[in-house]
Each structure stands twice: as structure tokens, then as C-alpha cells.
Structure 1
């Protein structure tokens, strides 16, 4: 199985961090294919940026079509997730949705812990979309700021641990949200009195499971493929996919 790990942020260091975390839990027969967006933002942190990143996600999926069996959109706000499921014939998962679904099986209430309050509105909208508000205990962030987006996990480890301890008073499962802190959950688990979830691990394992359950992904009901339609100004691969033309590329 070939699993595309698609980072909609343009920072290569985040892709490497995401890939390291994913590799810790992947079965031996899964080949991980990390990919970084070549346009957009170093790190997505608003609704507007997420909209732009969602379009880039669809472009990358179309350009890589035929080279992978399932995909993970590796940004915590899941930009482009529903659109990707509607358009492509394979399983696609997102970090936030996968982590929330995993949290439901591990505790009664879950919370997000992330590194910047700027992310809170966008992240919490994902809870509303999933209909999980009654199980959600809120989003918790440190008071401290960060310097390099590529070194957030190292720079903010101490304030993030303190934030997790504070959140643990409200929730029994804590989801560490944001690509810059991928992998941190397993490093600090003994320092926090709650279950810690790494969204990257949750999303890649869900993608593998969905591929084995239903290799074609979502393709019925609300995710039925839309009627073919011509377009203008799109990258060729995405224009062909929307027009219903075969864009698959052999290995």
C-alpha cells in the first residue's frame, strides 16, 4: 500500500516531522510518500489560509493520482477534506477528524492543546462540523509565544506540558493539534495525567484501515462524484479530474 502524506503547509521541516511521527505506527507493508505544498503559506493559521490550502490540496491529489492508494491531509484543520472525498476514488483522512474519532474511544471528553490562540476558531469549527460539541472540553494554549515554526515542539515543550496539565482537569483525552508539534505526544505522555493523542498517527492508521475496508473510499450519498464539468484556469490535472477524464499515471 502507498500512503500519501500531504502537507498543505510549504515548510519542508514540518513534512519531515510529520513523516517521522507517521512512520512510528505504520505497518511494514505501507510505503509512506511525504509531499509538501509548493505554494501557499509556511504554516496555515486562519480560515482564509485554509481555503487557499484546500485548493492546493486538490491540486496535489490530482497531480499525484495513480501513485498512491490513500491519502492523509496533514494539517490539523483538515483543509479540503470533504472536497477531496467528493472528488477522488480512494480514502482520504484528516488529522483533526481522525484524532477526534479516536478520542471518542479513549475517553468521555476531549480537548485540543495547541501552541497559538490564533488557531482556536478554525480548529473549533471542526468540532462543530463533526457534531461532537457535547464531548468537547475546549481548546487550551500556552501564554508563551514561539520563534521558529519549525522548532515549536522544542521551544515550547515546557509551556505545552503545563498547558496539557491544565487541560487535563477538563478532559481525559488531549489532542495535540498542529503540524509543528507532531510527535510531541509520545515524548511527554509520562508528564501529563491524561491520554495524549498524536493526530498524525491517528490519521495514517485510519487511512490504512479505510483502504483495507473500502479501497474506493467515499463515493455514495453526499460524497457521490459530482457531474463532469469543464473549467478554466485550473492546473491541468485537477481540470481533468473535475471534467471526468482519466488522469491516473502508472508507476
Structure 2
């Protein structure tokens, strides 16, 4: 049995439910998906500043629930807190954005990204740069603005998002198109026959990579640049996170 924490640092439970349903369809038999939703922060993260705050919340959530877990998926496209989590925790931690991009590079030479609002463009482009994949990236496609509640954009904007995915393939030259953003989880499955590119669902890619890493490297990225720093005291942090930081490298 492999136990994966699906950590959604957004506060919207409907979004977690959607992510968990897609994650369970993608998971292998015998993998348990444990969904978690943030209890503070933002209903939906959509900027660098919100991501920084949400990253701390994600660390708290992992620290509180890590007992018995084999790996973690940070279930927000943009991967808030990903690198810090790899530094702190001795189990593999996977981000949806990084997993989607790396998977795309194994399925084609170039990839594009489609999401539902231009507000995320600067933050999502940062992810490409941080992953060192700008040479494989052909660009982003977004509508002028989101239509309807964020939890319903997969339904209210379906035709528009499909058109953007086709443009990414036919006009930008993307071999692979990522449908980015937690509210779009599962949409790639419904576009498969109508888009002339390979489509990648970020949460599905993240779950499969987390399963693999749990078997290949059960201690996660715990050496080199991700070695845990020495322990130190802190004030005002979530108790579980404070204890972990205080324990430091000896833990």
C-alpha cells in the first residue's frame, strides 16, 4: 500500500474533491489518496504573493499529517512551497506544475500551457524558468478573463479552453499541451480526441510520479542541496512545523 497526501493549499473544498477524484483515477491499485484542504489562506491562489503565503500553509499541512505517508503531492499548479518541502521532509514531495512539465518533455519536444485566466501568467512562467525548461516551452494561451466561479471554469469555459489548446498545438507548435490550474483537473481526458497534441493533466502526472518516487527514493530529496538544515527554535509557527524545524538535520 502506498499512501499519498494530496495537499491542496487552496481553501476551496470543491476543488479538493475534484483533484482527489482525478488523482484516484490516475493512481495504481493499492495507492491510497489522502486529500487535505487548507483551513486558512485563500479560496484560490492566483499570484506570486499568494503562492508564497500558501507555501507556508502547505508546509504546515504536511508537517501535521506526514505520519504514515509515503509521498506528497502539492495539489496547486505553481507548486507553492515545493522546494522548501523537499528540504524539510524525508519523503518525496511532488508538485503539479513540475510534474506536468517533466512529463511533457518525455512525450514531445515542445510543450505549451493553457489556463483559464491571464492573472496566473507571470507566476506560471516563473515555474518554467525555475525548471530550466524555457527552451522546450512555446508559450501560454489564456482567455481575456475567467468566466464564472473558479470551481466551475472547466464547465463554463470548456469550449474556449479547447480552442486555446488547439491554438497552442497548431499555431505555437506545441507537441504537448498542459491544462494548468487545479480547477481544470480531469479536463485533459475530455479533450483527448479533439486536440492535435498530447494533453497532460497535472494532478495525474504528479500522482504517478509520486508513486514512482516513493518506490525509488523513499527518503525523498534529503541530500546535497536539499539536505535538511540544522535545527533552530522559532516563534509563532504551527506546532508541528516548529517541532520539525527545531529537530533539524538530526531528525
Which TM-score applies when normalising by structure 2?
0.96
Residue of structure 2 equivalent to 1:176 = 179
| Structure-2 separation of matches of 1:243 and 1:26 | 34
CA-to-partner distance for each residue in 1:150-206, whole Å, 9 max, x for gaps?
111000001001111111122110000000000000011111111000000000100
Residue of structure 2 equivalent to 1:155 = 156
- SS at the partner of 1:112? strand
| Structure-2 separation of matches of 1:44 and 1:141 | 17
Residue of structure 1 equivalent to 2:167 = 166
- SS at the partner of 2:107? coil
Number of residue-to-residue matches in the alignment: 247
Residue of structure 1 equivalent to 2:80 = 79
| Structure-2 separation of matches of 1:131 and 1:105 | 15
Equivalent residues in 2 for 1:143-222, closer than 5 Å: 143=144, 145-169=146-170, 170=172, 171-222=174-225
- SS at the partner of 2:73? strand
State whether residues 144 and 159 of structure 1, in contact with CA within 8 Å, keep that contact through their aligned partners in structure 2: no
CA-to-partner distance for each residue in 1:130-156, whole Å, 9 max, x for gaps?
111000001101235311111110000
| Structure-2 separation of matches of 1:143 and 1:34 | 32
Deviation at 1:67, TM superposition (A): 3.3
Which TM-score applies when normalising by structure 1?
0.96
Residue of structure 2 equivalent to 1:118 = 119
Q: 1:27 to 1:160 in 2, by over 3 A?
A: same
Which deviates the most, 195-204 or 60-69? 60-69
Residue of structure 1 equivalent to 2:239 = 236
State whether residues 74 and 95 of structure 1, in contact with CA within 8 Å, keep that contact through their aligned partners in structure 2: yes
**Superposed CA RMSD:** 1.3
- SS at the partner of 2:220? coil
State whether residues 26 and 205 of structure 1, in contact with CA within 8 Å, keep that contact through their aligned partners in structure 2: yes
Residue of structure 2 equivalent to 1:62 = 63
| Structure-1 separation of matches of 2:128 and 2:230 | 30
| Structure-2 separation of matches of 1:38 and 1:175 | 28
